[in-house]
Every structure is written in structure tokens, then in C-alpha cells.
Amino acid sequence: MIYRVAVNTRAEMTDARGAALGRQAEALGVHGLERIAVADLYFLDGVLDEAAVEALARDLLCDPVVEETTWAALPLKGCGAAAPGELVIEVALLPGVTDSVAENLLAAAHLMGAAGLERAATGHRYAMRGEIGDAAAKRLAAGLLANPVIQSYAINCLIEPPFLAPQPVDATVEVIKLTGVGDAALEAISKDRRLSLDLAEMQAIQRYYHVEGREPTDVELEMLAQTWSEHCVHKTFKALIDYRELDAQGAIIPGSVRVVDSLLNTYIRAATDAIAKPWVYSAFVDNAGIIAFDDYFDLAFKAETHNHPSALEPFGGANTGVGGVIRDVIGVSARPIANTDVLCFGPPDFPLSELPAGVLHPQRIADGVIAGVEDYGNKMGIPTVNGAILYDNGYTANPLVFCGCLGILPHGSHRNEPQPGDLVVVVGGRTGRDGIRGATFSSMEMDHETSEIAGSAVQIGHPIHEKQALEAVMLARDAGLYTAITDCGAGGLSSAIGEMGAELGAEIHLDRVPLKYSGLRPWEIWLSEAQERMVLAIPPAHWPAFEQICAGLDIEATALGTFTGDGRLVLRYEGCVVGDLSAAFLHGGIPRRHLRAEWQRPAETDAGVAISVTAGDLMALLAQPDTRSKEDVVRLYDHEVQGGAVVKPFVGAQAAGPGDAAVLDLRFQRELGTLTSAKDADGAEKVPGVALSCGVNPHYGDLDPYRMAWAAVDEAMRNCVAVGADPDHVALLDNFCWGNPALPDRLGSLVKCAQGCYDAAVAYGAPFISGKDSLNNEYLGQDGTKHAIPGTLLISALGIVPDVGATVTMDLKAAGDRLYVLGETRDEMGGSALYRARGLAGGQPPGPSADGPELLRRLHQAIRPGLVRACHDLSEGGLAVAAAEMALAGGLGLELRLGEMPQGESLTDTALAFSESLSRFIVEVTEANAERFEAQMAGLPCTYAGHVSADDRVTLLGSDGSLVIETTLAGIEHAWRGHLA
């Protein structure tokens, strides 16, 4: 018997979900809705009597304070519409899609004694009142309330319970003929199977099987495709690249022609090797980078992207992006303690009429992505402490979702050397068709048909399972039960086991893999990217203890086979060999790509245009989506859980200003009782902590990707230092999101950006410890036009704070204090917030500052003894925006004299106020500490340029003393936070 339970908000209570959907419907161009009432649907299948259903509805599914429930046995008569003039849309997940709520419902029901409940599923009912035509109803259903990639919907009728029909076991294994197949046919095989392999790669596979004397199975060919995907093996960053630069007229720039022998080895890893910091323990060789924290603990840090899945299914894509990077940190035996997120979307007001076919509206994408980030981190109990949100037309069809995670582990506790005879164990969630071919999907361009053919590449997360797996791994780590561990992410078991067994080989029984449902073929089991799974190498003697740990945490663990030591990866299903590959070929047989790259200097357009500014320009910049308060998003994330946040996302007495970086006190997160601390001259304890920050500004990239890289590194560094981190103890992550590297102009800008990463990292002595590239972020429109994202580099920084008790925030502290401007301002308006607001192109974007590294060191030396009361870096919007943010956060006014700012040339007041030159800060210092501070900064660009005032006015005076900008705190507040009203 199947029962349908509906739970809705009581009529006398506010339906917050309905109100939010009403606003989103308006944004989609659906007008006339008077109200939307949202009800949760639950479908219960099993041997249940009415009393049991009533008890579940009352005691488990409904909060009687604010909700009421109805239930009935199916089938029901009638349709879903309750009355004339009302539209009802019901939504449910497609059969087979992970339904984590239903899984938890089932487990809770059994704990309550409802043993007869065999299956559960969930859905939603949206009852709307208003004049809505058929076209608008379909737009609401497919454009707002449901995503056809993973959901079905019914308009004015009852939706069917989304239970998957029983499927027979399917042991089918295809053999793909490659012998004698020509080049065109090889390319067709790759395209038809969505392998994303080029001709040279297909030919290499063909030659391998010719030597083997047989044809490949589908299991083997699909495994090769995932392992050789751009996503997994980073083919472009390891390629041989013929590079050259052209001037604006198309002539080759002398000295620019060269061969780049691997972007990774020439620039990224080379920077880390050149810097050679002794506290870097692991870089680019594991799931996450590892550095020393103190004598007892290490820190693991990683940032990933989940772009293509988030474009198709924003909630699931972002949700599993967060889950995936958390698993990366677990995969180096660390406990996750903080998350970061940087999100890039199309404009929230993007015209519906201009939306490309098959693309979700940017606001729909943003809402889903933000909800996905919130859901996973909050349910895992991991604070989301730092990030950014950017908007650009180029992200409309290709949103970017950067997910980062910081973890802590006892020093030397990570083990990653499996031994012959070790069991291959999978722990965590069950395997379904989620994310099949996800690695190759992420390595392809998207077009208007992508959502129709790649829906299976989207995974759905289950954070509770990941929490259970985390605790099992932590207990096993401390007990020394495993010899190696990795997460099961892109490529699923094929990549996780394949990489772990790259030297040893393994024999795996695919029929032992726990499945969500029957009917998966062997290749689907092997490639599935179902979430919340970890793979461990466990000596047989330790297996009973590990099983006991997992049983106590109610999480499944299964031994799938053994690491053999013979160098072959052998896959069996029901006793038959369905795959047998040389591990050496799997990981070393891919042909190296030889690519052509070209970067052309853009023509000067609006450079040198005279601009006069007013307070209105400042207000406009503060109100821009890139700059304005993100409180409506950030407050959704729990940044207080685990109790370690010292400097939070918002700072100041009213928590009104944007913090430069997060600072965490790790005393509350440590798993051992040892605490390292030092004593200052007065005997006071100094407790070290960590700072997390980021740097990203894609708007500079079209003008000069090299300078964009410098700007990203510089911003991440100065954000860290501004709160108290030691600039000589900062580690970096690089995340490149780019277009199609097969196009010389795309690859040329990527090469130039990588050059900037090397030079900036070496200049600051900040090593890269991990990174990730996400390429082919392009959308092919129905008209055949390619639309690439702006080349986007995210730099994440992890800095050691010597004393969490001596951190600094950006809010002004007291009237009468001095304000110093540090760093030289230059005429660098290209890509600036002001230029973009005025629709101006060209100009010079910010470039390297020779004083930057030393300035950061001296500033840190001034912060440590307490000479600095407030510090804020100058970034987007320059000095004018930074000053306004400091005043707003502190609830105090200020006055700054632009003519007093350090400048390398005679600049206009507009450039002084809005240039975005690097390595600059506004610093607040008391009169009593002014002399010591000035002595500390002697010889560097640092001038006393103004003071904090007790009134509510922010005033910028020009070089001749005239008034350039004056506004009030109320005006700043309205501009920066007015959209939240």
C-alpha cells in the first residue's frame, strides 16, 4: 500500500518559502501571482496500517507548531487543483535520483518502530492563486519549481509516486571493435560514447589492444576515458605548448616565441620548488596540500570546481561540489574544519529574451547554487567562513562554483602507501547511476542540448552519509587501521582504485559493490560518481576492527577485492573477467598533447579618458552586485559552528562591514589535547591560528592575464596580512577556469596567466600547495557561436596567524585616530570597477608592485605589537570604496586628503580615488602609536593622509584641497545594503 502525506504551513503562519518563490517568479517574468503555498509531499510504501501512517505523519513529518498534515492511501480520485483560479504544480525527483530526505525518513521511521515501511520518496506541491495562463504555468514549472534534468512535474494533477520499478540484474558487457577501424570511425566512437578522447588518444588505445591481441570491453574503454579526461589528468597543463605573443597590430613581439614544457612544471610546481619552504609537507601529490601548523598538527587545504554540473542542476552541482572537496580533505586523513566558496554568475537581471536556449536563468542558478552550498556545509557541521560572489555576462551559461575546504590532522598521521594483499574497501554511500561519465562531461563544452544528454552526469549529495564516513575514517586513522586512503570523486571507483593501485594493481569484484538499486551494468558500477564514498587500503588483520567501527556508525563498508602487486587492474563481475588493464598503460599510456598558444595585446581604446566623479559614482559602485553586501547569502551559512571563528565574514560593532579574511582559533577543533603557544615579553600567552582569504578579479584578464594573476595573488596575500597573518608563512591554492584550450587565443591567455602566477608567488615567497583547472567552460549556441567565460583565476590563501589575540579588523575604531595610506597609487584604471560602471574599455590594469613583499612584511611587524587598530586592503573600487566600507563598519566618519597619498606620478583625483593599484592599504593608528608606526614603515610608500571623525561624513579632498566626494554613513548604508530591504 502506498500512502501520500502532505505537510503544509498553517494558514495563520507566514509561508516564507512561498514568498521567496513569488519574488523569483517575478524575476522570471511571471506576474499576477497573489500567493504561493508550499507543501511537502511524502510517499510511503509498505505494509502499514492507518495508525502507523498517522503516527509517522504526526510525530516525524510534521512540526505541529507551524505545520499541519493530511494523508490518504493511493490512488486518489480527482486532480491536483483545489479550486477555480488556482494553479497547482507538483514536483518530484525522477525515479532513481538520490533522495537523501527519503533515505533519512526511512531510517528514522524504522527507529520509531515502523518496520513495515519499505520505501519512501519525497516531493513538493505548489498551490498558486492568480491569473496564470498555460504558457506561464509551464515556465513556472520548468523554469523555477522543477529541473527536468532530475525532476518531473505535473500541472493541475497529482504526481505519480517516484518509485523506481524493480530492474533485473544486468551483466551485459559490450566489446568494442577497434581492430582495423579508421581514424574517422575512432573519432565517431569517442563522440558517440561521450569519451572526450581525441584521435591521438584513441589511436594509442587501438595500438595497446592490438598488442594485447583483443578488443576492449566497455568497462575498459570507459575507464580509460575517465582516467585520461582533462578533469582527472590535466592534459593541457602537462602539454608541450608552442607559445608566442603579438602586439595590438598582430606582429610577433620579439623574444616572446618559446616552447612551454608543461604549465604545471614550468610555472606552478616550479614556483613551489623555487620557494622551497620547509613547512610544506605535501604539494600536488595527493587529494589536498599539507603544511605544518605547529609541532603537533598539520593543515590540509584544497579548492575544487563544480561548474558544468552546477549549470545543469544548480543545487545538486554545488551541493556535491562542497561534498567533493570535503572528501578531498578527508582523503588526506584530515578533519574538515572550515569551508570557503567563490561563486560566479551571470547578471541577476539578465533579460529573459536574451537567455540562450537550454540555459537556466542566472538568478535561478544563483539561488540553487547558494542553497546547495548552504545545505552541505551546515548539515556536515562545517563553518563556511570566506568567499566571494562575482557577476559577468560571460558566466550566464557557464557559472563557476569554487568550493574550498581546510582540514586539520595530527602531524604524520596521513598514510598513503598501500601494500600487496591489502583489502580494497569502499565505505559510505551506495552506488547508483549518479554522475556517470562526470569526469568526461566536465571536460567537454556545453551547448543547448547538454541538459538533455548529460543529465546522468549530475550527482545528488547526502551530507549525513558523508558525516558518518568522516567519523569512521577519523577513528580508523587514529587506530592505524589503513595504509592508504582516497576519495571516490571524478571517475568514481575507476579513478579512486585505479590511482591507488597505479603501482600495485588490484583485483576487484564489481558484483560486491553495494547498489542503490539493481540493473546497473558493470561499467556503470565502475564509473558511477555516486557521492559520499571513500576508498581505503586495509590489511586483512585490521578488517574486523574497521567493520566494527562502521557498524557502530551505521555506515556501510565493503571489501571489493585486494591490491595484488602484479601491476594489472583486473575487474570481475559474477566470476567473469570484464576488465583487465595494465596499470602502467592506464596511467602512463596517454599521448602527450602538443598545442599552439597565442596571446595578442589588446588595442588601446578608452585609455586616458578624462573622468570627473561625484559622490554618486561612489554610491553606484557600492550598489553594484559585485561590491554590495552579500549578507543575504552569507547569513545562510553557519560560520560559527565548531566555535573557532575569531574574525568573521562581517566585522564591526554591528557586524556591518566585509572582513578581509577569516581567522580561526584552532584550539576548539583539535582532536588531541596538546596546545602549542608562546609567551610575549610580559608573559602573556600567544595562541597561533589560521587566516583564510582569496583573490579573484577576472575583469583584468581581457586586458592582461599576467597582471590578472599578479592581482589575484596580491589580493589574497594582502587580505591575509590585513587581519594578522605572517606573509612569510602563507600557502596558496590555484584554480584556473578557462575556455577551450584547443583554441590558441584561449590557451595563450592561460599561459600568460600561469607566468604571472609563478612570478607573483616567487616574489611573495608563497608556495602553491595544490590546485585545480577546469577548462572547456564554453557554451556553443544554436547559431554556432562559441561563448567562453572570462578566463578566471582564483587564488586561495592559507596564512598562519602568530597570535589570534592580536588580529585586526577593518572597521574604524575611534575618532581622532590617524589614517595612513600604504602602497603606491598609479594610473591603473583598466578593468576597474569605475571603468566598468562607466562602460569604458582599455586602460592599464594593476601591475606588480616592487614594494609589495616588503610592505606586507613591515605591516605585519606593525600589527603584531598592536600598533595598528584597523586595516583594510584597497581592491575593487580603490580607496573610495575601501574608505566607505571602513566607515560603515565602524559607524564613524573620516576625512582623507588624496594629494597626500603615495603616488609614483602626478595623478588626477579620480585615479587617486578609484585606481585599483596593488599592495595598498588604509591603516588606522592612534596618535600615541603614530611615531612608532611611521618608523616601522620608513622607506616604504606610507603617508599620513587623514583622520577618523566623530561625525557621520566620509570626505575625500582633492590634491588642491577641494571637495571631491562627500557623503554620509546613511547614504553608504543605503547603497551597500539597500537591496536587502
Phi, psi of 752 (to 5 degrees): -65, -35
| Angstrom distance (rounded) from CA 520 to CA 472 | 27
Q: Which amino acid is at 816?
A: G
| Under 8 Å between Cβ of 645 and 639 | yes
Grid cell in block for residue 84: 477555480
Grid cell in block for residue 177: 571493435
Biggest CA-to-CA distance, the chain: 87
| Under 8 Å between Cβ of 445 and 740 | yes
Name residue, grid cell 569551508: 339
Torsion of CA 27, 30, 32, 35, to 10 degrees: -70
Q: Which DSSP symbol is given to 59? A: I
Coil vs helix vs strand at 314: helix
Question: Which of 236, 38, 70, 352 is closest to 777 using CA atoms?
Answer: 236
The partner residues of 339 in beta bridges, in order of sequence, read 384, 405
Question: Which of 882, 907, 908 is closest to 896 using CA atoms?
Answer: 882
The pairs formed by 59-64 with CB atoms below 8 angstroms and a separation of 24 or more are 59/112, 60/105, 60/108, 60/109, 60/112, 61/5, 61/7, 61/105, 62/7
Name residue, grid cell 551559512: 637
Residues in the chain: 981
Q: Which amino acid is at 661?
A: A
Q: Which of 231, 234, 308, 699 is catalytic?
A: 231
Give me the helix-helix angle, 744-764 and 705-722, nearest 10°. 40
Going through 785-884 in order, the beta strands assigned E by DSSP cover: 786-788, 792-801, 818-822, 870-873
Give me the helix-helix angle, 543-552 and 463-479, nearest 10°. 140
| Under 8 Å between Cβ of 387 and 341 | yes
Say if residue 75 is preceded by a cis peptide, omega within 30 of 0: yes
- Residue 192 has a CB neighbour count (10 Å cut-off) of 8
User: For this structure, is 594 an active site residue?
Assistant: no
Grid cell in block for residue 347: 547578471
Grid cell in block for residue 516: 542503490
| Angstrom distance (rounded) from CA 768 to CA 712 | 13
Grid cell in block for residue 724: 594578522
| Under 8 Å between Cβ of 348 and 632 | no
User: For this structure, is 306 an active site residue?
Assistant: yes
| Under 8 Å between Cβ of 695 and 812 | no
| Angstrom distance (rounded) from CA 53 to CA 73 | 10
Integer CA distances (angstroms), 705 to 600, 610, 709, 790, 820, in order: 11, 25, 6, 10, 31
Coil vs helix vs strand at 824: coil
Q: Which of 124, 234, 306, 361 is catalytic?
A: 306
- Residue 868 has a CB neighbour count (10 Å cut-off) of 24
| Angstrom distance (rounded) from CA 74 to CA 82 | 18
CA-based torsion, 659, 661, 666, 667: positive or negative: negative
Q: Which DSSP symbol is given to 700? A: G
Please give the helix or strand (H or E) that residue 913 lies within, else none. helix 909-914
- End-to-end CA distance of the chain: give it in Å, rounded: 48
Question: Which of 398, 701, 739, 734 is closest to 597 using CA atoms?
Answer: 739
* Residues classed as catalytic: 231, 306
